[in-house]
A and B are shown apart, each in its own frame.
Chain A
């Protein structure tokens, strides 16, 4: 069965520092993986997705994520945090031919001036 864990329900970084948000998944088959961002009182917006074309995926707003099969991980990074990056981030997984997307519990990112 699919599941997603996100280490750290809350992460704080200084403006300009590296952002690292962790995501690990469990899946019996190679999955599709997604990162979404949610700003307060809004819906979720796709940041990037892994669909097996390349292990390093670049997304919007300078974010990228690397798929590591051996570690069953899909961590999200950004070299330099900006104040506007403060939001909730969700990792999600979907198995091939499975009709549901499973979301992790989310990580709230704070950016300190």
Chain B
């Protein structure tokens, strides 16, 4: 089955720690995205990438970092610099050759700072 896999589903982090959220897709999509979702605020774009070894900051990139070493993988690191990391994180991917195609989403990772 083609799709996007995010892991883990739930993640707990102590203050001051870095944590990495995994996102893997087997849809052969070029573009991948990370969104943060907080109650009542919709989806906010953190980072996106259209090609291997290249990525751009979204609207709320501070305190986050990403890498795109393989087309299939786009991990997100939440660093200790992110002041309020508790949120639901969603990874998505899409084609870029056809702009009418939709984005496909993973099932999300809920990160909680303890």
A-side interface residues toward B, CB under 8 Å?
A: 9, 32, 34, 36, 41-46, 49, 51-52, 90, 94-101, 103-106
Closest to B56 in A: A99
Given A99-B50, A106-B42, answer yes or no on A43-B102 (Cβ-Cβ < 8 Å): no
User: What A residues does B35 contact at CB under 8 A?
Assistant: 103
Tell whether, in the assembled complex, residue B48 and residue A42 are in contact, meaning their CB atoms are under 8 Å apart.
no
Complex CA distance for A98 and B92, rounded to whole angstroms: 16
Closest to A106 in B: B42
The answer, yes or no, to whether B85 is at the interface (CB within 8 Å) is: no
Main secondary structure, interface of B, reads strand
Closest to A108 in B: B40
Tell whether, in the assembled complex, residue A43 and residue B107 are in contact, meaning their CB atoms are under 8 Å apart.
yes
Given A41-B110, A43-B105, A49-B100, answer yes or no on A100-B48 (Cβ-Cβ < 8 Å): yes
Closest to A96 in B: B99
Tell whether, in the assembled complex, residue B100 and residue A105 are in contact, meaning their CB atoms are under 8 Å apart.
no
Complex CA distance for A34 and B113, rounded to whole angstroms: 33
Given A100-B45, A101-B94, answer yes or no on A42-B99 (Cβ-Cβ < 8 Å): no
| Shortest beta-carbon distance from A20 to chain B in Å | 19
| Shortest beta-carbon distance from A6 to chain B in Å | 9
| Shortest beta-carbon distance from A80 to chain B in Å | 26
User: What A residues does B103 contact at CB under 8 A?
Assistant: 44, 101
| Shortest beta-carbon distance from B86 to chain A in Å | 14
Tell whether, in the assembled complex, residue A103 and residue B99 are in contact, meaning their CB atoms are under 8 Å apart.
no
Chain B 63-95 interface 0/1 with A at a Cβ cutoff of 8 Å (1 = within): 000000000000000000000000010101010
Residue from B88, B99, B110 within 8 A of A97 (CB atoms): B99
